[in-house]
Amino acid sequence: MSGQRVDVKVVMLGKEYVGKTSLVERYVHDRFLVGPYQNTIGAAFVAKVMSVGDRTVTLGIWDTAGSERYEAMSRIYYRGAKAAIVCYALYQDLTDSSSFERAKFWVKELQNLEEGCQIYLCGTKSDLLEEDRRRRRVDFHDVQDYADNIKAQLFETSSKTGQSVDELFQKVAEDYVSVAAFQVMTEDKGVDLGQKANPYFYSCCHH
């Protein structure tokens, strides 16, 4: 990886124990580590090269520590990120309680401070719901409404089974390629970038 350019800075955010490191492990190494939980200290970085059509895209993923002790540090890591994967646990036990509230906290921060950062909401540990659907604490439709409001994409993943993990990171890379193509198009044709807010311009770069 040395000397290779990172195209997309991606930051993982969310309360401790929601499964950020496990998502990255599943995506980058296709494995799920069992054993005692080890909280991330500070942050960890990993790069992954992937394909979108005939393009190669390098994601540079910052896995931040969820503990509130490291909150100030997480702010350093999301600076300049083009994508944020904001995680909350679908299945809430005592340790996971309020992870959705914490996700909303990060969303607010990003909205206020990182305008150019696309947000991906990620409900984690979906395999645990398979075992007992009554344990779902965050209603899918409520989160979908919230995601629509903040113009975020919503994924429900399991790092244990791999469910939707590749799809999540693939979407991050695809969106990057679409936005980059849109920028080239507008620069070439002299389109007013102020029109970016127009939904037509937004959707036309997704096809």
Ligand X SMILES: Nc1nc2c(ncn2[C@@H]2O[C@H](COP(=O)(O)OP(=O)(O)OP(=O)(O)O)[C@@H](O)[C@H]2O)c(=O)[nH]1
Cα separation, 143 vs 138, whole angstroms: 7
Residue 124 touches ligand X, criterion: CB under 6 A: yes
Residue 128 near ligand X by CB under 6 A: yes
Q: Binding ligand X by CB under 6 A: which of 9, 20, 48, 102?
A: 20
Identity of the residue, 118 or 157, whose beta carbon is nearer to ligand X in the bound complex? 157
- What whole-number distance in Å separates Cα of residue 178 and Cα of residue 207? 8
- Only one residue has tokens 């037509």, namely 200
- Report how far residue 112's alpha carbon sits from residue 154's, in angstroms, rounded to the nearest whole number: 20
Find the binder of ligand X among 11, 17, 102, 172 (CB under 6 A). Answer: 17
Burial of 150 (0-12, 13-18, 19+ CB in 10 A): middle
Q: Does 102 bind ligand X (CB under 6 A)?
A: no
Q: Is 156 in the site for ligand X (CB under 6 A)?
A: no
Using CB under 6 A as the binding rule, whether residue 66 contacts ligand X is answered as yes
Element at 201 (helix H, strand E): helix 199-204
> What's the rounded Cα separation, in Å, for the pair 88 and 83?
16
Q: Which is nearer to ligand X, 7 or 66 (CB)?
A: 66
Q: Choose one: 37-45, 104-112, 134-142, 177-185; the region binding ligand X (CB under 6 A).
A: 37-45
Residue 147 β-bridge partners: none
Find the shortest distance in angstroms from Cβ 61 to ligand X: 12
Does residue number 164 form part of the binding site for ligand X (CB under 6 A)? no
The least distance separating ligand X from the CB of residue 22, rounded to whole angstroms, comes to 3
Q: Contact 29/39 with Cβ under 8 angstroms?
A: no
Minimum distance of ligand X from residue 139's CB (angstroms): 19
Rounded CA separation 185/205 (Å): 10
* Joined tokens for residue 131: 């075992």
Comparing CB distances to ligand X, the nearer of 67 and 186 is 67
Stretch that binds ligand X, among 62-70, 74-82, 114-122, 172-180 (CB under 6 A): 62-70
Question: Is the separation of the CB atoms in 99 and 15 below 8 Å?
Answer: yes
Contacts with ligand X by CB under 6 A lie at 14, 16-22, 37, 39-40, 65-67, 124-125, 127-128, 158-160
